[in-house]
């Protein structure tokens, strides 16, 4: 299929993990890499939508303090993780360091950035506490991020 994740057997992965999901070399010579940042085991658990929304805002804001290569951080519709899109070709270790540093920042946050009706399409749909709980769990399993399959 055309969509990379539709070709991934979600029964064989072992979340949490961070994996390269796509690598594009553009006609201009630029490179874009997309990472699957998976928090929960597909088809067995999912994140609460308020938590997903807040992690999206927090990561999008804080990750740019650690890397100028961040293009986007998008939630998966299945609510099991996110896609991190980066310009350039950072090493896998650099990507893991970016994710870890940003998640650590989230644990120290006192509010969700742009969680209001002026800056967000559903400003009331956030949970800092839920985001920090889920990020804390993800960080607790840091040693497992490199293992995609059981």
The residue whose two tokens read 């951080």 is: 73
pTM of the model: 0.96
Maximum alpha-carbon separation in the chain: 44
Domain 15-142 in CATH 3.90.550.10? The answer is: no
The reported pLDDT for the residue numbered 7 is 87
The reported pLDDT for the residue numbered 133 is 98
Write out pLDDT tens, residues 72-130: 999 999 999 999 999 999 999 999 999 999 999 999 999 999 999 999 999 999 999 99
Asked if residues 82 and 73 have their Cβ atoms less than 8 Å apart, the reply is yes
Which residues are bridge partners to 75 per DSSP? 82
Q: Where are the domains of the chain?
A: 15-142
Q: In the chain, at which residue ranges do the beta strands (DSSP E only) sit?
A: 17-25, 31-38, 70-75, 81-87
CA angle 101, 107, 113 (to 5 degrees): 90
Going by C-alpha positions, the residue among 56, 68, 35, 39 that lies closest to residue 113 is 56
pLDDT tops 90 at residue 2: no
Going by C-alpha positions, the residue among 47, 59, 51, 66 that lies closest to residue 106 is 59
> For the packed helices 128-140 and 92-108, what is the interaxial angle rounded to 10 degrees?
140
């Amino acid at each position: 299929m055309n969509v990379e994740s539709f070709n991934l057997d979600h029964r064989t992965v072992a979340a949490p993990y961070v994996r390269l999901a796509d690598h594009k070399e553009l006609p201009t010579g630029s490179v874009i890499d997309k990472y699957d940042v998976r928090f929960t085991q597909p088809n067995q658990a999912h994140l609460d939508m308020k938590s997903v929304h807040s992690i999206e805002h927090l990561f999008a804001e804080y990750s740019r303090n650690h890397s100028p290569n961040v293009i986007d951080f998008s939630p998966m519709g299945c609510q099991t993780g996110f896609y991190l899109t980066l310009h350039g070709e950072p090493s896998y270790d650099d990507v893991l360091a970016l994710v870890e540093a940003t998640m650590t920042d989230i644990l120290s946050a006192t509010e969700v950035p742009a969680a209001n009706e002026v800056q967000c399409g559903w400003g009331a749909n956030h949970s800092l506490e839920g985001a920090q709980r889920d990020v804390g769990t993800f960080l607790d399993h840091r040693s497992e991020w490199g293992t995609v399959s059981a």
